[in-house]
Structure 1
Amino acid sequence: MSLSIPGPSQANLFKPGYTSHDAEDGAVLRNIEACRAISQTVQTSLGPHGRNKIVINHLQKMILTSDAASILRELDVVHPAAKLLVMACQQQETEMGDATNMVMVLAGELLRKAEELLRMGLKTSDIVQGYEKAQEYALKVLQDLEVDRLQDIRSQSELSKALRTVVGSKQAGSEDILANLVAEAVLAVLPKNPVNFNVDNVRVVKIMGGSLQQSRVIKGMVFNREPEGQVKKARKAKVGVFSCPIDISQTETKGTVLLKNAQEMLNFSKGEEERLEATIKELYDSGLRVVVAGSTVGELALHYLNRFGILVIKILSKFELRRLCRVVGASPLARLGAPMPDEMGNVDVVETTEIGGDRVTVFRQEDETAVTRTATIVLRGATQNHLDDVERAIDDGVNVVKAITKDPRLVPGAGATELQLTERISALADKTPGLPQYAIRKYAEAFEVIPRTLAESAGLDATEVLSRLYTAHHRAGGAGATSDDVSSGGEDEEDTEEEEGESEEEEEEPYWTTGVDLFNESDNGTIDAVEQGILDLMSSKSWAIRLASEAARTVLSVDQIIVARPAGGPKPPGQNPNWDED
């Protein structure tokens, strides 16, 4: 009698080549491990002192940044569980434009804590339940932590107050310059109803050389190239935008022309010249004085455009072309010929100026009430990589303005909000019966990771700073309530909160705004975040908490991963098997 070797359980279930990871062989723990690996990658980049990462993507382009969303976008994450976290981060990027790193770090930490619970013997369902309860409570507590709100979104100082922290987390040291630049640019294009603010209306043009201090905001669109022809300026002109080449029209079909002698050849080319001249005269007669070409401009066409005194500029990027159409109010034409009146746009000023040795062309609308206003931030800096990174910081700033128009509330930054959440959620855990209380406590502890990382990257002793913060925040909890009240978990949460409010008025400083001191200004490593003006947007925090918790719960509730064999045959041998992917 022969013993048969047991095969895998799904031997004949799927096509050959499937791999499956089961709960029995620790699928959950392995998923958690993968997620933690990726969250540790970006964890060191959190906050103003975050370290930069150099990512070299598959096209050998080097990206140097501390912006989590950019790092994750350039890394091709393959592991399916880790991909869930990356997707949560990208959602945060599209929704708020900021706090992507917080999503990643918080989700990674929540999973790390979940792993401890699993090893203690809790079931995933208990953990997921506890996390869900804690998340609800965290979002409720967050509402109470409002310390300030933007009274007037149209005031530059108010706006840059909210932007400083956002920009500072990417470009520490130059946050004041950048916050003012962004505020100025945004106010230049803010429509009557701020909710309609379009992020696309603030552009960035990077010009190498000079220093960041020389950056400035120019109202209008700036292209870093000069017009093709001899005409460099135009005022109050009609604009035509052509997405086709401006040149002798090629025939649709390949025609063969037999020329017998030189005279015929001259006549032939003369005919072409006359046709082109007629076309350009047609443009001139319709009132066009500025032509924007989305493709090539032929030599001959250029000659006639110069003769008629039409300014012509090439803009090869489709996005820029679309934006310019919005600014001047034109529609892009696919064939060369006189545009209809409604297809033409208007521009008040087109001029060529010089910025640091580079000639640039500015399209500007003088009319203050126009909805199509655009502002361009002209950035100066030493290296291309630095400029790219500053552009990312500005991009975050502009996106945050969009979020501010919806919800102007601010909470203290520098890790103060997170520590307060830790305190309050722990108090909830003390009052929760049953197994979920362990999960709620771990959920609370997970928030600790933010102040801890901030302290570590600022070169402080994290354990010491955290204990100081806890002391400060605990005094807040104990300020209104008596000590036995706190030890018994503060029987009535609402009472203690009301009393806290009263006691804050009696005492000078609220304690729960104490955060990590990143610039070593104080002796004990803690500062009052509100006094220092370190404020975060409440909405981006609540989105981050929501997305991180969702992602962590999703990863925890996966108990099996089944991977099919990738499609396509074996890769061809050679230096680069993926040559056709780019």
Structure 2
Amino acid sequence: MPTGAVAVFASGDIHRDIAQELGSRGVLTVQNVKDSRIEFLARATGAPVSTPLVSADVVEAEATAPVHIDQRFDQQDESWLAVTATGRNVPEAVSFVVRGGSDSVAREAERRVKDGLNAVRAAVMRPEALPGGGAAEIAAAVALRDFAPSVTGRAQLAVESFADAIETIPLTLARNAGRDALGTVLDLRSRHATESGRAGITSNGVVVDDVIDHGAFDPQLVRTSGFVRAVEFTNSYLRIDGILYNANPGSPVDGASS
């Protein structure tokens, strides 16, 4: 029974004879598609993902979905396929086409889109948020510095250094906003010391007493994941064995004669 299919996307190889036969019938075949792309295509078109097929299998019409396929070209004349669902019940799926004046600009734009999508995903997975604009980091740094005197020995220095590392986030936000980074962090410290525990930097680079009133939120999962990865990287870096060189005067290492 004809299914009316116009294209076949496979995560593995498609035999040449099969591809030629389908091509003679006007069916486009695309092989070695990433599993993630297969999943995206299924969500965007509504067509289910079929298990590996053999020549004896019969494909029913219900296993397909109505789509429109266009071949498009980017600024470097590289082609790509645009698959658009055309059925009555079009699934709720959106694709982003990211362009840029150069490859580096396009990659940076793509990275920002992915970061935004990941932040939304994190908010859906754990619907909890922290004050944004560096407010949570300043509050954590203040709490760490208050805690540091209760720690004895060199560990106290580690606590204070941890507070300094956390404050690099509001420092970076202030610098990106064109503000005096050090002065902004000192201002935030002062505001947090006067019970303005949600003082931070808005998207316009303005320091306010409560960033929540300006809609500045950060997904809690993003902040937790960032801290965990940073600590894990630091611990792995500190475990690397150092190499000590004998640099004393007269040492054979220096090539001096006795």
TM-score above 0.5, yes or no: yes
Which of 196, 217, 220 aligns to 1:538? It is 220
Q: SS in structure 2 opposite 1:470?
A: helix
Q: Within the alignment, does 1:456 sit opposite 2:172 as a pair?
A: no
Farther-moved stretch of structure 1 (528-537 vs 549-558): 549-558
- Aligned-pair distance for 1:392? 1.9
Q: Give me the whole-angstrom Cα distance separating, in 2, the residues matched to 1:348 and 1:381.
A: 32
Give secondary structure in 1 for the equivalent of 2:95. strand
Partners of 1:398 and 1:456 in 2: how far apart? 25
Aligned-pair identity (%): 23
Q: 2:27 aligns with which of 312, 315, 318?
A: 312
* Structure 1 runs not aligned, ≥5 long: 1-235, 250-278, 280-292, 306-310, 477-510, 563-582
Partner of 1:322: 38
Which of 364, 378, 400 is matched with 2:119 structurally? Answer: 400
Superposed counterparts of 1:403-442, under 5 Å? 403-442=122-161
Q: CA deviation at 1:460?
A: 1.9
1:546 is aligned with what amino acid? V
Which residue of the other structure, out of 552, 567, 580, is the alignment partner of 2:234?
552
Q: Report if aligned partners of 1:425, 1:440 keep a CA contact under 8 Å in 2.
A: yes
Over 3 Å counting, the alpha-carbon distance change for 1:561 and 1:319 in structure 2 is farther
- CA RMSD in angstroms comes to 4.0
TM-score (norm 2): 0.69
SS at match of 1:350: strand
Corresponding letter in the other structure for 2:64: N
Equivalence for 1:31: none
Asked if the contact 1:329–1:345 (Cα under 8 Å) also holds between the matched residues in 2, the reply is yes
Structure 1 ranges of 4+ moved more than 6 A: 353-359
What residue number does 1:529 align with?
A: 211
1:486-545 per-residue CA deviation (whole Å, 9 max, x = no partner) reads: xxxxxxxxxxxxxxxxxxxxxxxxx2222235634x4xx556422332221111111221
What per-residue deviation string (whole Å, max 9, x for no partner) do you get for residues 458-496 of structure 1? 3322222122111111101xxxxxxxxxxxxxxxxxxxx
Deviation at 1:374, TM superposition (A): 4.3
Deviation for aligned residue 1:447: 1.6
Q: Is the 8 A contact 2:123 2:220 kept in 1?
A: no
2:184 & 2:103 partners in 1: Cα distance? 37
Contact 1:517 1:527 in 2 (8 A): no
Secondary structure of 2:213's match? coil
**Contact residue 202 and residue 216 of structure 2 kept, 8 A:** no
Residues 1:438 and 1:380: Cα distance change in structure 2 (over 3 Å): closer
- Sort the Cα spacing of 1:447 and 1:384 in 2 relative to 1 into closer, same or farther, 3 A: closer
C-alpha distance in structure 2 between counterparts of 1:517 and 1:399, whole Å:
21
Q: Could you tell me the TM-score, scaled by structure 1's length?
A: 0.34
The code of the aligned residue for 2:162 comes to Y
How far apart, in 2, do the equivalents of 1:548 and 1:416 lie? Answer: 19
Q: Which residue of 2 aligns with 1:362?
A: 83
What code does the residue aligned with 2:28 have?
Answer: I
Given that 1:328 and 1:347 are in contact with CA atoms closer than 8 Å, whether structure 2 keeps it comes out as: yes
Residue 244 of structure 1 is matched in structure 2 by 14
Which structure has more relative contact order (CA 8 Å, sep 6+)? It is 1
1:387 aligned partner: 106
Unpaired stretches in structure 2, ≥5 consecutive residues: 245-258
